[in-house]
Amino acid sequence: MATKHLISLDMMFILRSRKHARRMVANYDAGFNEASRRVSCLGAESDVELQAVAKMAECAFAIWAGLNPIIAVHWGESVDSGYDVLFFYRVDVKETAMENRFLIWPLGKNDIWRHKRERFDVLVLVKSAPPLFLMAGWVDAETFESKHCVADDEHPLRSGTWFMHERNLRSMDHFPF
C-alpha cells in the first residue's frame, strides 16, 4: 500500500461529514435536490452513512492535495456543481470500500453522462475504511468515456454499471497529468 497516498482523516472532518450527510438526507426527504434524487441508485439519497463516507473521501482527497477541506469541499445545502474539489482540474471523487477494486460511474447517471461530463475533468478513486482513505488512482473523463467497461449479469456490480478496474487507473504519483 502506497502510504504517501493514505490519509488518516481527522475526527473533525469525520464528524462534519456525518452532520452534512444527515442534512443532505433530510433535504432529499423534504423534496429538495429533486434532479439529483431522480438519478440516485439503490437508496443512496437516504443512506446517511454512504453520504457521510463519500464526503469524508472528498475531504481526504483535499488533504492529499494540500488543500483545506473546509474551503475546498462543497458543504452547501444543495448538491455540488458537478465536481467535488478543484485541484488543477475539476475533480469528481468516487469512493468505494477499501476491499473493492472498481471506480464506478453510478448506474442512475448513465443517461446524463454527457451533461455531467461537462462539469468535471477527472475522476479519482478513493478507497475507504474510515478513518483511513487511500487515493487509489485517477482517470481523465475522456479516457473513462472511451475505455470504461459495462457490468453484465455475470459481473459482481449491478448490470449496466459503468466502471474501470483500479489497475487501469493512472497512479496518483502522476496526478495531475
DSSP string, 88-120: SEEEEEEEEETT--EEEE-GGGGGGHHHHHTT-
Pairing, β 85-87 against β 149-150: unpaired
CB distance 50 to 44 below 8 Å: yes
Q: Pick left, alpha or beta for residue 14 (phi over 0 → left; psi -120 to 50 → alpha; otherwise beta).
A: alpha
Average the pLDDT over each of 64-68, 96-100, 112-116 and give the range with the smallest value: 112-116
Q: How confident is the model at residue 44 (pLDDT cuts 50, 70, 90)?
A: low
Say what percent of the chain tops pLDDT 90: 72
102 forms beta bridges with 165
Cα–Cα distances in Å, from 60 out to 13, 85, 98? Answer: 9, 11, 14
**Residue 18, Cα to own-chain centre: how many angstroms?**
16
Cα–Cα distances in Å, from 11 out to 4, 53, 82, 116, 130? Answer: 20, 13, 26, 32, 10
Q: How confident is the model at residue 15 (pLDDT cuts 50, 70, 90)?
A: very high
CB-based contacts of 11, cutoff 8 Å, min separation 6: 131
Please state the rounded mean pLDDT for residues 40-60.
82
How much is the pLDDT for 116?
Answer: 87
Residue 39 has pLDDT above 60, yes or no: no
Residue 109 has pLDDT above 50, yes or no: yes
How much is the pLDDT for 32?
Answer: 61
- Tell me how far apart the alpha carbons of residues 87 and 91 are, in angstroms, rounded to a whole number: 7
Residue 35 has pLDDT above 60, yes or no: no
How much is the pLDDT for 149?
Answer: 97
Helical (H) or strand (E) element with 162: strand 162-165
Helical (H) or strand (E) element with 175: none
Q: How confident is the model at residue 70 (pLDDT cuts 50, 70, 90)?
A: very high
Closest CA to 61 of 20, 90, 19: 90
